[in-house]
Structure 1
Amino acid sequence: MKSAVFFDIDGTIWDYDKFIPESAKVAIKKLRENGHLAFICSGRARAFINDPDLLGLGFDGIVCSCGCHIEIDGKIIYQNIIDKDVVKHTVELIRDYGFRPILEGPKYIYMDDDEFGIDDPFGNVLRRDVGENLVPVGGDYYGDWVINKMSCATEVEADKRLECFDKLSSHYQVIEHNENVCELVPVGHNKATGMIKACELVGIDLANTYAIGDSENDLDMLQAAHVGIAMGNGTDRAKEVADYVTTDFDKDGIYNALKHFGLI
């Protein structure tokens, strides 16, 4: 019976140094050789999924931007772009609260250097990985963004942060990773909705789905899949909602999980 496996990227396939365990490469290759489908299912925007070693693992499709962008066999088959007026209002609102925004789209990631300086770790990851497609929020790009979602640095007082989240709730699901980082995903979208839509398009029943992830934006996917698998290095909440907890990503976590369920 053909199954589809949906893989988170960060903390699941690799770390922020882009280290992919050899066992993960072998496992994904064997999975597809056995007739199953392998999908990326990431919170990253498509502009932030461009590494040749990652894409070279051989995925059948990409669900990204928390379900707002779906590609199958290299073709875009679904995309949700946030209205530019809504984006402008959001940027103004969150900056008023002291948040620092990163706007994430299919072609460009938008980030202002004066908000994410050379000492900012995530800003430096974007500079390293996105290259010329990392452009400013402001300047010539201001108001002309094409984006699916946003991420924010939220180093403000808890009451201010929660007040801002409340004001955002009519347009976004707020995924709070910790007190300093959140994602803003358009209402009605998450990794699970993307996974379900991708399955409909390739003719896979949800009873034959597996999802593997490690963090807060994976919770919906882990619960919606027939089998949700949390990485050993995952958050407590990811492990709580998962059906199975495998080993850490760098301790053959993907290989061990796929082997456990007889997929390889």
Structure 2
Amino acid sequence: MSNKPEAIVFFDLDGTLFNSQIEVLASSVEAITKLKQNNIIPMLATGRTPCEVTDLMKKLSIDSIIGMNGQIVLYKGEKVFTNNIDKDLIARMDQFSKQQMNIPLAFYNDETMRISECTQAAKTFYHYLKQPIPPVDDQLYLNEPIQMMLLLCEEGESVYRDVFLELTFIRNTPYCVDVFNHGGSKGNGINQLLQKKGFTDVPTYAFGDGMNDFEMFTTVNHPIAMANAVDKLKEQAEFVTDSNDNDGIAKALKKFGLI
């Protein structure tokens, strides 16, 4: 008997699976349950790290995730792919941030989150996410692999782009910029999953709303934008569904005959 799913559906979180109150609509919870009953795998595809969304994954009975914008891939609990940032590169960026930019960093891997210093910028960002502020540890990268960093700032990332050509910088919220290896993306994470698990012939669908979903939209067979998505992403979508506050997930899954 084949272990291949009938399809895989990737869900961005903020602005997509989450509504404006950072909650999952009842219609989306019901839709995800129906997907699994139909041998369709629901996967999170998010800038967040797996340890941030453990409770959510338990609530939704989802055990697969493209995390940190594709820097780690877990499929049914199995670690399929990681994309670690070079330690020397992190050290250079940490020094540059402290000495020239006065911008705090956050260090993420699939199990741990730490910040370089607890500033007002850090407090503002984690309050925006409705999350506790991680502990301070600016030496984490010396002892553990890091797959993603954050610049905790409302502006200033353009300077980093000119200095650190090895890295990609994507503003994911008004208060932070995601940082990872150049070429890393949700799309790359999806490709790694499909190739390593032998799923290249499995139909793929993706829901998103922001520019960190762009590469994902160019990778899957059926990209679906939320009504609240940015215009550039809508242009890349096969279909624009209703908003994240108005049952957009469930409506699109029904339209495509997945539930």
The separation in 2 between residues aligned to 1:190 and 1:181, in whole angstroms, is: 17
User: Does 2:167 match 1:166?
Assistant: no
The DSSP-based 3-state class of the residue aligned with 1:154 is: coil
Give the AA of the match of 2:107: L
Give the AA of the match of 1:185: F
Question: Alpha-carbon deviation of 1:136?
Answer: 1.0
User: Does 2:24 match 1:29?
Assistant: no
Contact 2:57–2:63 (CA under 8 A) maintained in structure 1:
no
TM-score, structure 2 length as denominator?
0.87
Identify the residue that residue 150 of structure 1 maps to in structure 2: 149
Quickly say closer, same or farther: Cα 1:177–1:71, change in 2 above 3 A.
Answer: closer
Deviates more, 1:204-213 or 1:181-190: 204-213
The DSSP-based 3-state class of the residue aligned with 1:135 is: coil
Identify the residue that residue 63 of structure 1 maps to in structure 2: 66
The separation in 2 between residues aligned to 1:70 and 1:15, in whole angstroms, is: 24
Which of 100, 103, 108 does residue 107 from structure 2 map onto? 103
Identify the residue that residue 135 of structure 1 maps to in structure 2: 135
Deviates more, 1:250-259 or 1:74-83: 74-83
Identify the residue that residue 95 of structure 2 maps to in structure 1: 92
Give the AA of the match of 1:121: T
The separation in 2 between residues aligned to 1:196 and 1:141, in whole angstroms, is: 29
1:237-256 to 2 correspondences below 5 Å: 237-256=232-251
Which of 40, 44, 51 does residue 40 from structure 1 map onto? 44
Quickly say closer, same or farther: Cα 1:199–1:142, change in 2 above 3 A.
Answer: closer
Quickly say closer, same or farther: Cα 1:86–1:112, change in 2 above 3 A.
Answer: closer
Partner deviation per Cα, 1:27-65 (whole Å, 9 max, x = no partner):
1111111121111111112222222x4433122511111
Identity of aligned residues (%): 26
Deviates more, 1:220-229 or 1:230-239: 230-239
Which of 15, 19, 23 does residue 19 from structure 1 map onto? 23
Give the AA of the match of 2:164: L
* Structure 1: segments with no counterpart, 5+ residues: none
Question: Alpha-carbon deviation of 1:97?
Answer: 2.3
Question: Alpha-carbon deviation of 1:109?
Answer: 1.0
User: How many residues end up aligned between the 2 structures?
Assistant: 254
Question: Alpha-carbon deviation of 1:207?
Answer: 6.4
The separation in 2 between residues aligned to 1:124 and 1:112, in whole angstroms, is: 17
Partner deviation per Cα, 1:173-200 (whole Å, 9 max, x = no partner):
1113477532112112100011112122
* Structure 2: segments with no counterpart, 5+ residues: none
Quickly say closer, same or farther: Cα 1:194–1:64, change in 2 above 3 A.
Answer: same
- RMSD between superposed Cα atoms in Å: 2.5
The separation in 2 between residues aligned to 1:209 and 1:224, in whole angstroms, is: 9
User: Does 2:116 match 1:121?
Assistant: no
Partner deviation per Cα, 1:105-158 (whole Å, 9 max, x = no partner):
11211124532468x3322356x6467xx22133x64744531111113345xx
Contact 2:169–2:180 (CA under 8 A) maintained in structure 1:
yes
